[in-house]
A and B are shown apart, each in its own frame.
Chain A
Amino acid sequence: MDNITLLIYIVVMALVTYLVRMLPIVAFRKKISSVFIKSVLYYIPYAVLTAMTIPFMLYANDSILSCAVAFAAAAVMAYFKDNLLIVASTASLAAFIVLVLL
């Protein structure tokens, strides 16, 4: 991909993301009444994050084992500790330990 195409992709990405954020904040002042739509919107972020993590986290680097251990360690840590920084570091640290030991 050449630089101009790359720039176009990034700007288009940003425009879509901005519109998704801006439209409801600018346009709506009332609550959505449809329980179905509200429910779909409520579940979507979790479904998206899960689909992006499973199974793709396993292929984040060349060692599937290190990724699998990182996944398990992060999942256990997230279960006990609701903290972004700690859980993200746990994933990296666990993978690093496996990579060093291998």
Chain B
Amino acid sequence: MKKNSSLFVNGLYDGIPIALGYFSVSFGFGISASSLGIPTWASTLMSLINVTSAGQFAGISIIASIGTIVEMILTQLVINLRYSLMGLSLTQKLDDKMTLLERFLISYGITDEIFAVAISKEGSVKAKYMYGLILLPVLGWTAGTFLGAVAGNILPAMLSAALSLAIYGMFIAIVIPVCKKNQGVLFCCLISAVVSCALKYIPGLSFISTGFAVIICAIVASVIMAILKPVEEEK
């Protein structure tokens, strides 16, 4: 059995590539946030205590459009619902001896990439490993946001405009490889895209805010596909 300290170091090591990716994407997030008029302290704090790309991205657009707190809560709930599913699968991998406090602590750092790395480890996952795995990505995410928000105000407009596309690039990077392998996900994305465009471009529907539009797309597309192509038993 490995010592706790080396488990922590293993986690740190596995977190390095995630941290580098997060740094560049959150740099773009910081730029987007400051271009929407959100102060640097706010976007940096948001990254430190939320650690969620899609959720924060929706969050800043709700803040910028002065959406209601209910819209914010519902949007975060739906966008981040995937973390519940990840948390559920992760419980199957967690060390039996993991305490309640440790479970509270590791919950903070469940993101798409951290989950993906943790779930692919052989054997059970211990809290010390998770602490190591979470630490650097969170630092990268927060530092990148701060620097992006600061640089966003001084960088040439052309560079800021280009970097603000990085976060969308990350969304595409998560979705396309799965669409390639899984027809159900492909159709789910197509339905979601069609509904999203309909809500955006059909004049009578423009009263629906962006946050709620995302919720509607997500529920319509995932319910249709759950009926048409239920997920098979886990491999």
Which residues of A does B touch, CB under 8 Å? 1, 3, 6-14, 16-18, 20-26, 28-29, 31-32, 35-36, 38-57, 60-63, 66-67, 70-71, 74-75, 77-79, 82-96, 99-100
- Let me know if A44 and B76 touch, CB within 8 A: no
Report Cα–Cα, A61/B192, bound state, in Å: 23
Give the chain B neighbours of A12 by CB distance below 8 A.
69, 72-73
- Contact partners of B12 in chain A: CB under 8 A: none
B residues less than 8 Å from A26 (CB atoms): 100, 103-104, 107
* Chain B residues with CB under 8 A of A7: 42, 45
Q: Which of B21, B59, B179, B200 contacts A9 (CB 8 A)?
A: B59
Q: Which residues of A contact B189 (CB under 8 A)?
A: 46-47, 50
Q: Which chain A residue shows the least CB distance to B180?
A: A79
A96 to B: closest C-beta gap in Å = 4
Pair count A-B, CB < 8 A: 300
How many residues belonging to B are interface residues under a CB distance threshold of 8 Å? 103
A90 touches B164 (CB 8 A): no
> Are the C-beta atoms of B214 and A6 separated by less than 8 Å?
no
Measured in the bound complex, the distance between the Cα atoms of B39 and A70 in whole Å is 27
Does A95 lie within 8 Å of B192, measured CB to CB? no
Chain B interfacial positions (CB closer than 8 Å to A): 17, 20-21, 24-25, 28, 32, 38-39, 42, 45-46, 49-52, 54-59, 62-63, 66, 69, 72-73, 76-85, 87-88, 90-92, 94, 100, 103-104, 106-108, 110, 112-113, 158-180, 184-185, 188-189, 191-193, 195-197, 200-201, 210, 213-214, 217-218, 220-223, 225-227, 229-231
Beyond A55-B196, A88-B21, A96-B158, whether A82 also contacts B177 by CB under 8 A is yes
Contacts of B46 in A (CB 8 A): 10, 13-14
